[in-house]
Amino acid sequence: MSITLRLHSCVIIKAVNTKRLKRFIASLPKNSRFWILALAVTLSVNIAGFVQLTIPPGSLQIIRIEQWYGFIALLLLYLAVLASPLTKVIPKLPAKEAYLHARRAIGVSAFYYAFLHVWLTFFKQLDGFGGIKYLNHTYSLSLLGGVFALAILFIMAATSLDIAVRRMGYKHWKLLHRLVYLACLALLLHVMLIGPHYDAAPTALGVLTYLAAAFLVILEALRIRLAIKTRKKQRHV
């Protein structure tokens, strides 16, 4: 009798899980996060294909693909981090809800491109661990910063699903995801040390990066100021 009940329970659980899976798959085309992730993967393939068509095989081809992936990872991470302070400071921002909903997918896409960037750099340019010993102090420090940032982005991506938020609790989940600011600092250090656009005479892209970083810092300062004012008002109520 107990065996029959167990089998019956297993069948019910399997049926419920199947229904949930079907509902999840059916909801994907209606979810902006799905399309952002799909676009990220498609774009990465197209970038690799375009570079391979325009640059002969060799180290320069790998460097160009790796540079594109690194730049897009930095851009996507910036857009993901920008969402919260921008929408707090400008509460009536157009498409605010859509932007905030897409933020996690943008962050996961940033990890995806960062992973491709690190993989190409480490295994194709350096030829694995054997090439580390030939790096000078500046490149070693930059590599360390990049790997540190990638580790944080991995944590962010691994806990980006709604189920992670429910199991951890929003307060603890939010606290964990504040580590992304450390990733931003590590990435900024990474590109400033060895990026071709960030030397003593930065190019237009380098100047734009510094301006974008300054804009983010200003927004964060304004957001903190607004939060302090709100808390003071709540205390006086």
pLDDT for 15: 47
Residue 142 DSSP SS3: helix
What are the residue ranges spanned by the domains of the chain? 67-236
Residues 61-78 pLDDT 10s = 999 999 999 999 999 999
pLDDT of residue 11 exceeding 50, the answer is no
| Dihedral over Cα of 46, 52, 58, 59: its sign | negative
Q: What is the dihedral of CA 230, 232, 235, 237, to 10 degrees?
A: -70
pLDDT at 5: 44
Say what the pLDDT of residue 27 is.
Answer: 58
Instruction: Work out the angle between the directed axes of helices 59-89 and 180-194 (0-180°, nearest 10).
Output: 140
Tell me the per-residue pLDDT of 12-47, one tens digit each, with 9 for 90 and over.
455 445 666 556 565 556 688 999 999 999 999 999
CA atoms within 13 A on the CB side of 164: 13
pLDDT of 193 higher than 50:
yes
Mean pLDDT, residues 175-202 taken together:
84
CA torsion, ordered 33, 36, 40, 46, to nearest 10 deg: 140
Rounded Cα–Cα distance for residues 236 and 228 (Å): 13
- The percent of residues above 90 in pLDDT, for the chain, comes to 52
pLDDT value for 155: 94
